[in-house]
Amino acid sequence: MMRSMFAGVGGLRVHQERMDVIGNNIANVNTVGFKKGRMTFEDVFYQTLEGASAADENRGGRNPVQLGLGVATSGVDTIHTQGNLESTGVNTDLAVEGSGFFIVDDIGQKSFTRAGNFTTDSNGNLVNSSGLRVQGWNINQEGQIDTSQEVQGINLPLGEVKNPQATANMDFFGNLSAAHDDASFRTSLEALDSLGNRYNTYLDFEAEGGNTWSFEISINHPEGIEDIGDWGMENDQLSISGEIEFDELGRVRNIVQDGIEIEEGETVFNLPEFTPENAETVNLNIDFSGLTQFEGESFVDRMADGNQMGEFEDFTIDSSGVLTARFTNGEVEPYAQIALASFNNPSGLLNEGSNLFSESPNSGSPQIGPAETGARGSLVPGNIEMSNVDLAEEFTSMITTQRGYQANSRTITTADEMLQEVVNIRR
């Protein structure tokens, strides 16, 4: 009877511990990135009253006679199933769809988390709710993101100013109609110098008959700029003219231009350099290879590089964790990439509180790399991962735990009553 009482006490203890696990799960039902716990039981040492015996020619074998001494906690596992994603629309909120973990740093100590409710601090650092810096790779001096290097704190270029970039390339594409021998067409494009000054650039086409169109490129002075060099200066503008010859398939065959030698078959040429006041020399590269001469209406469109000065405006994050900065001049540039870590045994991680995990001897070492590589999964920007706690499952477990606790308490009271009967024999 004493054995049954101790077994009942052990049952009360482990069911109380299981209730602690259930209570913690329910308490964290709305905790971002929380992973529920699961407690399992195991039976404990058995007292052998009689050992087993094998069968022989005269007598059959006998099973062992053992009395169990109760129950104990086998383990409390962390269940790393995927939690539901909740859309927030906040560009710093991230959810991992897969088995990866974000990496955060606390003065050199790396921790891991599934909670992606991040924000930026006053210095442009990407941090979690505790102020720990999110780890990844920043752009290097060569303008590249090198994911083979050690991870570091992600930093955004808050307040950064992008210098103006002079226009170097103008690409024209479209169709100059083969059906009109006397047609003319004009398109315009802005060019920029190294100071960001705007130049109105005009391109006029006129049909010369057959497969030939003449063109004239003119670049006007920007307002406030009085000296843009000595080449071709006429009526405060630079100008140059030539002819485009198309082949029988309607493709550019050759360009003839006075003053500039263009080799046979070339469709790309450079305008002579000019130097605006206080700015760097401008050399425009003109590409006519995108023009055709087919039947139908004439239209010409264009693209050009170059930007005015721009200030950091905002950023976006894609599914691979690349942070792309956007500037007020329309320029976009990748600036950093968020790192993820995966583990051979994520259930072996140590819970540190504050939605953080740390490496343990049984979790394996972190395998760090970009999202969408290895087994790390991908990122879902503008979302956060919610707790994976299922309330229906937890309430069901709570009922069975309560009944188990009650049954073990009945074991103790029943054994006590039996002992009381023994005490009362003397009466």
Gap between the Cα atoms of 170 and 328, Å rounded: 22
Mean pLDDT of 21-38: 95
Predicted pLDDT at 300: 87
Both 291 and 178 in one domain: the answer is: yes
Both 352 and 339 in one domain: the answer is: yes
Gap between the Cα atoms of 304 and 288, Å rounded: 13
Both 55 and 7 in one domain: the answer is: yes
Domain boundary among 304, 326, 345: 304
Q: Can you spell out the DSSP letters for 359-384?
A: --TTT---EEEETTSTT--EEEETEE
Both 401 and 377 in one domain: the answer is: no
Domain boundary among 277, 304, 331: 304
Both 175 and 217 in one domain: the answer is: yes
Both 176 and 293 in one domain: the answer is: yes
Both 223 and 267 in one domain: the answer is: yes
Cross-strand bridge partners of residue 291 = 174
Q: How confident is the model at residue 150 (pLDDT cuts 50, 70, 90)?
A: very high
Both 293 and 178 in one domain: the answer is: yes
Predicted pLDDT at 182: 67
Asked whether the whole model's pTM tops 0.85, one would answer no
Both 239 and 183 in one domain: the answer is: yes
Phi, psi of 5, rounded to the nearest 5 degrees? -65, -45
Q: In the numeric block, which tokens belong to residue 383? A: 């979302």
The CATH number that applies at residue 223 is 2.60.98.20
Q: Which residue has the tokens 């030939």?
A: 212
Predicted pLDDT at 214: 87
Both 44 and 67 in one domain: the answer is: yes
Both 288 and 381 in one domain: the answer is: no
Both 193 and 279 in one domain: the answer is: yes
Residues 323-364: tens digit of each pLDDT: 999 988 888 889 999 999 999 999 999 999 999 999 999 999
Q: Is the pLDDT of residue 231 over 50?
A: no
* Domain containing residue 323: 85-161+312-385
Q: How confident is the model at residue 256 (pLDDT cuts 50, 70, 90)?
A: confident
Mean pLDDT of 44-62: 84
230 against 158, higher pLDDT? 158
Domain count, the chain: 3
Predicted pLDDT at 232: 43
